[in-house]
Structure 1
């Protein structure tokens, strides 16, 4: 990927972080404590995870995985515990402090967009907050997701034997019964999130929906 493409991805990541901060200002305690779409995590917990994500470096990731005995779930929970402040306002301030960071673990840069969009929806959807994501922010992630195992955050197994078609972007993948949906919807579904039946269409949509983890 070119330097210009990398720079544009980081610009989009920073844009999504800023948009989430604006959406979270003024939430009440009940909303902060509401269950997110990440099983076992509240809205506050997911924000703490995003602070941790923004601060993760390549070397730091390697050290953390050794400490977690290469258990991704254990490492993620440790990150939440480390970055979750006493109150949501303090955690939101911590997130604002890392908005412009460009640190990343040793992974495809598209994963930074997946983190911001998927976790943004993990927070927004339970709270009834809507965001019209720029399509440009979702499309770089789709080729990565369809070729990457779900054990590493992708959706290769979820879309096997199906043809995915983005209705609002230049993206299609696979052979088989067609599944049509917006780029953001496909990103969420490929990363395992449950989406509404009405967000997908096509003869393969029922099969695809049945493969999502929630």
Structure 2
């Protein structure tokens, strides 16, 4: 059964449970979200490329270069890079970002477009790499006021993964002991004080983007802010 929830299609069983997508379907979502972001970036001014993102100290252009790196570094190259960085993820990320950033924003965008169809990743956790582009796309779009958002289907897959473990983000820790419910799709998990919002806002909050806590409501939001 496929039910339409918001702008995305979410596969569900007759009992209402979300059906996990195949790896091929997840990669199709990754490619879709990358392509949508590349289209959004095409008309940016030099000032917008240099604007701060929601991702730490990185500019918009640096976030895009990071996404290109994430789509270009496989498992063994990732291991070599981490060893060379003495297992410092921040240093690893800075080095790979610098490698994939172009001499100009146009070149950075061209490199990102070339990586859109890539299925290269450091591990087989495909929902995590969907999360990489969903989260970083919003890191760029929100400060720039770009209106497009990922599909509910994409956001639901990422929310389920983030809530189930601490991997690329500390998502499970962020929602432990809370009841989390999406208002635009089927995602729901946990028991405890309620946190409600769009699936995307829940994903971004689990990824540590505090700006999105303002988009959530319920008694559990205070606890999420403390975390």
Is it true that 1:147 corresponds to 2:171 in the alignment? Answer: no
**Distance in 2 (alpha carbons) for counterparts of 1:25 and 1:37:** 20
- Indicate which of 182, 188, 191 corresponds to 1:175: 191
SS for the counterpart of 2:71 is helix
Q: Count matched residues.
A: 209
SS for the counterpart of 1:140 is helix
Is it true that 1:38 corresponds to 2:61 in the alignment? Answer: no
Any unmatched runs of 5+ in structure 1?
A: none
Which residue in the other structure is 2:218 paired with?
Answer: 202
> TM-score of the superposition, structure 1-length normalised?
0.92
**Distance in 2 (alpha carbons) for counterparts of 1:149 and 1:198:** 23
Which residue in the other structure is 1:138 paired with?
Answer: 155
- Are the aligned partners of 1:147 and 1:154 in contact in 2 as well (CA < 8 Å)? no
- Are the aligned partners of 1:146 and 1:159 in contact in 2 as well (CA < 8 Å)? yes
**Distance in 2 (alpha carbons) for counterparts of 1:135 and 1:113:** 13
- The within-5 A match list for 1:107-126 is 107-126=124-143
Deviating above 6 A after TM superposition, structure 1's stretches of 4 or more consecutive aligned residues are none
Report how far residue 57 of structure 1 moved: 0.7
Is it true that 1:97 corresponds to 2:129 in the alignment? Answer: no
Report how far residue 72 of structure 1 moved: 1.1
- Are the aligned partners of 2:205 and 2:212 in contact in 1 as well (CA < 8 Å)? no
- Indicate which of 63, 68, 74 corresponds to 2:85: 68
- What's the Cα RMSD here? 1.8
Which residue in the other structure is 2:203 paired with?
Answer: 187
- Indicate which of 149, 154, 157 corresponds to 2:173: 157
SS for the counterpart of 2:139 is helix
- Are the aligned partners of 2:201 and 2:213 in contact in 1 as well (CA < 8 Å)? no
> TM-score of the superposition, structure 2-length normalised?
0.87
Report how far residue 207 of structure 1 moved: 2.0
**Distance in 1 (alpha carbons) for counterparts of 2:20 and 2:183:** 29
Structure 1 residues 125 and 12, CA gap change in structure 2 (3 angstroms):
same
Is it true that 1:50 corresponds to 2:67 in the alignment? Answer: yes
Report how far residue 179 of structure 1 moved: 0.3
- Indicate which of 22, 25, 32 corresponds to 2:39: 22
SS for the counterpart of 2:210 is coil
